[in-house]
Amino acid sequence: MTTRTMLALVREPLTALGLRKRSGAIFTMELAPDVIGWLGLNTASKYLPTGVVEVNPVVGVRHQTVERLIADLRGEAFHAYLPPTVSISIGYVMPERCYVGWDVGEGRPEAVAELTAAVERHGLPYMRRLVELPALCEAVEQRQSLRPEYQLPPIRLLLGRRNQALEGLAEDVKRLGDRQDAAALELRSFAEAFARHVDATS
């Protein structure tokens, strides 16, 4: 089964929850001004029967104010919904607190129904809990983010924690040591741009 076929099976029930299909296997929904809920459907088909894919929903939120500042300071074009600010495999916000996937395919309506129910009962409440910045900050601090070193400084700054934002980022840069790879250079450049931004807005 292709991703397109899988999406044809899940699109209508997910849309009924208020989610909007975006490119690829991504869905979003408006939660508050400048905050969107985020759902990505990861798939795997190895060891499964032909015509069946395992779907692992990843749920999260994107705070546009935070991501816009990151893009500006990194000199990047702002994207409307990528990446999420926080994201986590849905199983870890369910009572099981472990990886959960559903085997989706033609003739397996129960899998689609169970996946949709999990998104409604657990994924959407998780998204809504992260609308406010304090909860978002806590989630990023708990590493429910792919790039906390970029997201924590703006979040802390928006919360009025200027010194914590600067000091935390300085510690991240210090941990780079003598590294001169692309990722290290990018973080140092971001740290310098962030410090200038803080000075300019203080």
pLDDT tens-place string over residues 157-189: 999 999 999 999 999 999 999 999 999 999 999
Residues 107, 30 within the same domain: yes
Query: In the prediction, which pLDDT does 106 show?
Result: 80
Residues 116, 48 within the same domain: yes
Whether residue 83 is preceded by a cis peptide bond, meaning omega within 30 degrees of 0, is yes
Residues 89, 58 within the same domain: yes
Secondary structure (3-state) at 144? coil
Residues 105, 180 within the same domain: no
User: Cα(first)–Cα(last) distance of the chain, in Å?
Assistant: 54
Tell me, what amino acid is at 187?
Answer: L
Residues 115, 164 within the same domain: no
Residues 134, 72 within the same domain: yes
Nearest CA to 72 out of 180, 196, 164, 185 is that of 196
**Cα–Cα distance for residue pair 28/134, rounded to 1 Å:** 22
Query: In the prediction, which pLDDT does 1 show?
Result: 60
| Domain count for the chain | 2
- The encoded tokens of residue 20 equal 């909007």
Residues 101, 157 within the same domain: no
pLDDT digits (tens, 9 = 90+) for 96-105: 899 999 999 8
CB 176 within 8 A of CB 188: yes
Residues 91, 190 within the same domain: no
Residues 14, 90 within the same domain: yes
Residues 108, 158 within the same domain: no
Query: In the prediction, which pLDDT does 178 show?
Result: 94
Residue corresponding to tokens 């809990």: 129
Secondary structure (3-state) at 151? helix
| Domain range for 168 | 148-201
pTM of the model: 0.92
Give pLDDT < 50 ranges for the chain: none
Q: Is 137 exposed, middle or buried (0-12, 13-18, 19+ CB in 10 A)?
A: buried
- The encoded tokens of residue 199 equal 């000075």
Looking at 125, 141, 157, which one is the last position of a domain?
141
Query: In the prediction, which pLDDT does 49 show?
Result: 73
Count other C-beta atoms under 10 Å from residue 123's C-beta. 27
Q: Which residues on neighbouring strands pair with residue 30, listed in sequence order?
A: 36
Residues 162, 94 within the same domain: no
Residues 84, 67 within the same domain: yes
**Cα–Cα distance for residue pair 86/36, rounded to 1 Å:** 11
